[in-house]
Amino acid sequence: MQALAAESEMRTDVQRLVRSDEVVLPWDLTEWCEAACLRQWIVEELDTLDWANPRLVEHLRNHPAYQPRTMLTLLTYAYATASFESEEIIRRSHTDEAFRSICGEHVPNRRLVISRFRRENRGLLKWSLMQLFKRVIKVRLEDFRLPAGLKRRLLDAAVARLDLARQMDHSGEEA
C-alpha cells in the first residue's frame, strides 16, 4: 500500500513539474544524455520511416549522391546538440567524432547543401527533433506519459531550433 502511495505521490510531483515552466530542454541535449545514446535514438526513430517507398527508391537511384538519411540524422543530431550554423556542422563533420560517425564518407561540402536540405525537409526535421525530445523527456522523467501541453512546447522547441539555424545561416551570408 505504501508503494502505491509513493508512486502516486511521485506521479503527482512529476505532473506538477511537467505542467510548470521548470521542464526546459537544454540547448545541448548531451547535458542530459550521452552523445552515443542520442545518435542511437535518432537512428531508431528514422528507422520507422518508409525508406522503401518506391518514389524515394527511384529518386535515390537517379541521384546516388543524395543521402537523405545521413543528412536527416546529421541535422537532427546537430540541432539537438546546439550546432546550428551550416559551416559549424560541416567543420564538426570533419573534426568531431560524433559527427564523423554519422556522416562517414558523406560529409556535406557546402553550406548550401545543408540549408537546402533543411528548407526542403523542414517537416521531417521537426518530426525527428520532436521524436528525440519526447524520448529524452520520457527518460528524464522516468517514462512518464507526456501531456499535450508539453508536446506543444516540444514542437515549439523544434521549430525554434530550425528557425535559429536558418537565421544563423542568413546572417553568415551577409557577413
How confident is the model at residue 22, as a pLDDT?
Answer: 53
Measured in degrees and rounded to the nearest 5, phi and psi for residue 77 equal -65, -45
Model confidence at 9: pLDDT above 60:
no
Render pLDDT for 88-147 as a digit per residue (tens, 0 to 9). Answer: 999 999 999 999 999 988 888 888 889 999 999 999 999 999 999 999 988 887 766 767
Q: What stretch of H or E contains 159?
A: helix 148-174
Q: How far apart are CA 140 and CA 45, in angstroms?
A: 18
Q: How far apart are CA 117 and CA 81, in angstroms?
A: 18
Q: Tell me the Cα Rg of the chain.
A: 18
Q: How far apart are CA 111 and CA 158, in angstroms?
A: 21
Stretch 16-24: mean pLDDT: 52
Q: Which three cell numbers stand for residue 83?
A: 550546432
Q: How far apart are CA 103 and CA 70, in angstroms?
A: 6
Render pLDDT for 164-173 as a digit per residue (tens, 0 to 9). Answer: 999 998 876 6
In which band, very low, low, confident or very high, does the pLDDT at 7 lie, cut at 50, 70 and 90? very low
How confident is the model at residue 28, as a pLDDT?
Answer: 96
Of 67, 68, 62, 33, the C-alpha closest to 138 is 33
CB neighbours of residue 28 within 10 Å: 13
Q: Which three cell numbers stand for residue 19?
A: 505542467
Q: What is the pTM of this model?
A: 0.81
Which residue reads 527511384 in cell numbers? 58
Picking from 44-53, 81-90, 132-141, which range would have the lowest pLDDT averaged per residue? 132-141
Mean pLDDT rounded to a whole number for the chain: 84
How confident is the model at residue 65, as a pLDDT?
Answer: 81
